[in-house]
Amino acid sequence: MECDILVIGAGIFGLSSAYYLKEENPGKKVVVIDKYGGPGQGNSAKSEGGFRNLFASETNFLLADSTIDWFKHMEEDLGYHLSLSYIGYLFLLSEEQYTGQKAAWDRIRGWGAEMRVLEREELQEKIPALVTDFGDDEEAELLGLGSVDYGVFGKKCGSIDADALTRAYEEEFLKLGGEVSYGTEAKSLVLKPELELEIPGEPFVWQDSHITGAETSKGDIHADTTVVAAGVWSGGLLDPLGIDSFMRPKKRQLFAFKDIRLEDLFKVEGLNEYGVMPLTILPKAAILFRPELSESSIWLGCADNLGRKFELEEDPQAEEGYYTDNVYHVLVKYFPCFEDVRPMNSWAGQYAVNSYDELPVVAPGPGMIYVGAASGSGIMKCDAIGRIAAALYAGEEEAELYGGRRFRVADIGIHRRRVERESLVI
């Protein structure tokens, strides 16, 4: 098959990139392939679906803030049902944590993020289900739990149906005449010399070479430009050519709860319009949970880092003991309503972690564009990333993000990368 632009990966980055590439190049044949049977089936649709504009890196703030505006546009103007819920994000912090992060929070406020700092009394009043002080609880001490002294609440934050979002990009892309081919696995990228001599052994080191498409499970696809957006699978395509994917895969597990004992989490006044808990990040062990309004359930995850191996897994699974032995003990101290509550469902996906600076990468290569290293927050930046990929393809210095802000394309590449490392990683 021949096409102008081949996008490998129908995840959120692949489809948002494909959409903007097709929109800006309507005459070009843009083809998206994915080894799975539908959009977002790799890891995108397994996301917790949280979104926030509270990032310590200004680049991340820009990417997310404009993407969140776009979500609203997609729902209100384009008519997609994305289950967009502005429940907010609530970072629960000890005095020490808050003090350590204060400069970052002030900077974020300076960029215009709507946020509010709640002190302990207000937290207790609004969230009776929360324990803010463990007194002389020996178990809490053993667990190393600090008190909750502050809550930082972000308003332009919440949750979205990541699966629906991915499908919405696909639909928009298809409307423009883009093509998708599922069940089509890219086996390898094809590297060829600019000037083929038809000699065995090409490309030689003295030839200028570039990527000319991919060998797939359904035959070769030739493309002028190949967009590698295969998430955690990008390494398998790029490593054989000695091109870095700037990410390593790490498993993330999610647990869903539906239990009458958790009803207090759906009765929290004064933080959001729904009267529910925001997406809440505990002060310890990177545990977070949020209400999923569509099914009155709680989705809970834990961004464990040290000790959680880097490894590509084809079908990662949640581990039973991970909740009961690990997360539960901390969770139930801060939120005793979880006592004896067990998950009704669990699943796992994989982050493509860029440990250098925890930001995504949109970088050019010979005959290709790499879009990846989402580092666990790709959903909430997807629209900006797609626009940047299209701007890079067009050779533009700047991309226009939704809402009109401009973004220097090279900032998020590699050779002239200019980002602040993200410190508010969840």
302 binds a copy of itself (CB under 8 A): yes
C-alpha to C-alpha distance for 349 and 252, rounded to whole angstroms: 5
Site for a copy of itself in 145-174 (CB under 8 A): 145
Query: In this chain, which of 176, 256, 285, 426 binds a copy of itself, going by CB under 8 A?
Result: 285
CA angle at 167 for the pair 161 and 173, rounded to the nearest 5°: 140
143 binds a copy of itself (CB under 8 A): yes
Q: Which is nearer to a copy of itself, 73 or 417 (CB)?
A: 417
241 binds a copy of itself (CB under 8 A): yes
248 binds a copy of itself (CB under 8 A): yes
Query: In this chain, which of 327, 341, 359, 362 binds a copy of itself, going by CB under 8 A?
Result: 327
C-alpha to C-alpha distance for 83 and 256, rounded to whole angstroms: 17
Query: In this chain, which of 41, 147, 181, 355 binds a copy of itself, going by CB under 8 A?
Result: 355
Q: Which residue has the tokens 């003990």?
A: 329
Q: How far is CA 103 from CA 3, 100, 289, 357, 399, in A?
A: 49, 7, 25, 19, 29
Q: Which is nearer to a copy of itself, 78 or 197 (CB)?
A: 197
205 binds a copy of itself (CB under 8 A): yes
Query: In this chain, which of 95, 125, 196, 311 binds a copy of itself, going by CB under 8 A?
Result: 311
426 binds a copy of itself (CB under 8 A): no
Of 44-52, 240-248, 261-269, 398-406, the segment contacting a copy of itself by CB under 8 A is 240-248
Of 90-98, 129-137, 284-292, 392-400, the segment contacting a copy of itself by CB under 8 A is 284-292
The minimum distance between CB 116 and a copy of itself, in angstroms, equals 28
The minimum distance between CB 43 and a copy of itself, in angstroms, equals 17
198 binds a copy of itself (CB under 8 A): no
Query: In this chain, which of 310, 346, 408, 410 binds a copy of itself, going by CB under 8 A?
Result: 310
Which residues form the interface with a copy of itself (CB under 8 A)? 142-145, 191, 195, 197, 201, 203-209, 239-244, 246, 248, 250, 284-287, 302, 304-311, 321, 325-327, 329-330, 353, 355-356, 366, 414-417, 421
